[in-house]
Each structure stands twice: as structure tokens, then as C-alpha cells.
Amino acid sequence: MKEGPLFLHVNIPLPGVTSPETLESCRAAITYSWLAMAIIIGLALIARFSLKKTAPTGVQNLLEVIVGGLNDFVEDIMGPEGKHYLALIGTLFLFILVCNLQGLVPGFDSPTANINTTLALALVAFSATHYIGLKRHGIGYIKHFMGPMWGLAPLMLPIELISHFARVMSLTFRLFGNMVAKHKLLLVLALLAPYIAPVPILGLGLLVAFVQALVFTLLTMLYLSGSIEEAHLGGDHH
């Protein structure tokens, strides 16, 4: 939870940003996004250089549990083909989770409480979904936007295009709104009951951080599943 000056502050030049509040917010989001990446990469390197073929311990054991859980989760949602997208899904989940958790540390900021960060994440999910769909189906991917039959294609095409672009806004504002609301709520509770609230507040913050990371990645998996499945229009013969 950000209270007072930030622990880390990097004066990153941002041409075109003139508002002091916006400049500070964007710099904090970039700085703590880098910190989140450094934490994830650091843990991965520690696990890599301490690999044991016998019973794993420490960081290796933790990461094996996380990766194994993510692998099972992805395959449950997307089926056997989900393993091909584990790297993308796992990276999104871990990055969002670490970003969310940073906001619980006094003097730290949560990058996902900045709309620029959540928009960037939403664009990654959106771009990956349609890139994979095009790679999988080629020009036939257009059938996903045509509706159940050719006769409805002129009506369904604009509706489907709007709904797909709306996913970017949905992912962006859902994560951003929930993280901002969490920070405000935790701050109010801490001010109202500073001596008895810290532990419940921390528990609530951990829950919200995990759930929001899970929801974002779950929706991304559903979008990916839709892009890789076969689309059939009325009149198609196979």
C-alpha cells in the first residue's frame, strides 16, 4: 500500500507528459514493473542454478509447485493443447501477481493500479489471441467473426469485431479498477482501525491480488481457446 514517498524512485524521461501527478504515476508504474520483472527473473535464476534431481528444496520446490499448478490449471481450461501456451499464461499470471502484491508493501506501489500497465497487459493478451488464431487457421480465421451461417455474416462481422476490441477495455478496466479500489479500501480500513486491522487487511489484500491475477489469466485462456478452435458456418461441408 503506497503511503508517503515511494521506496524506489527513478526519474525516467517521459516526453509529452506534462502533468506532475501523471508523470509521477507513470514513473512509479514503470519502476515497479521493472522490479516485478527483476523479482521473477531472479527467482527463476536462483532455481535454475540450484536444480536438484533429488527432492527439491527452497526456491526450486516453490517454483515447481507454482509451475505444476499452472500447468494443471491451463490444461483443465484449454485441454491438452494448453501446454503450448503455458509460457504466455504463466508469465502473465506471475507478473500480474507480483505487481499486485507490491502494493501491500509500505513505500511500494502496484503497477497494476496504473491504467497504462493494465492496458499494456490487455494488448498483449489481445494480440497473442489473434496472432495464434491467424497462425492456426490462416485466412480461415475470419470465420470466427462471421456468426453461425453465411447469411448472418454482414450483421455478425461488425458485432464480433466490436466485441473483440471491447475485450481490451474489459481486461484493462477490470484489473485497474479492482486494484485501485483495493488500495483505497485497505487505506480506509487501516485509518479506521490501525491497531486491530493490519492482519485482516493483509489477508484481504493477498486474496484480492491473487484473485485478480487469476481472473485476468483465466479470461486470456478462454479467449485463446476460442481462437484455436474450429469455426463452422452453416453450409460448410467437411
- Looking at the domain assignment, is residue 131 inside a domain? yes
Q: Which residues contact 136 (CB under 8 A, 6 or more apart)?
A: 227, 228
Q: Which residues contact 57 (CB under 8 A, 6 or more apart)?
A: none
- Looking at the domain assignment, is residue 24 inside a domain? yes
- Looking at the domain assignment, is residue 29 inside a domain? yes
Exposed, middle or buried, 208 (CB in 10 Å: 0-12/13-18/19+)? buried
- Looking at the domain assignment, is residue 2 inside a domain? no
- Looking at the domain assignment, is residue 11 inside a domain? no
Residue 234, strand partner residues: 149
Residue 149, strand partner residues: 234
Domain tally for the chain?
1
In this prediction, residue 232 carries a pLDDT of 60
Encode pLDDT of 122-162 as tens digits.
999 999 999 998 888 888 888 878 777 777 777 888 888 89
pTM (two decimals): 0.84
- Count, residues in the chain: 238
182: containing domain = 20-228
- Looking at the domain assignment, is residue 234 inside a domain? no
In this prediction, residue 237 carries a pLDDT of 47
In this prediction, residue 5 carries a pLDDT of 43
199 DSSP 8-state letter: H
231 DSSP 8-state letter: P
- Looking at the domain assignment, is residue 212 inside a domain? yes
Write out residues in the chain with pLDDT < 50, as ranges: 1, 3-5, 237-238
Q: Which of 87, 76, 89 is nearest to 219 (CA)?
A: 89
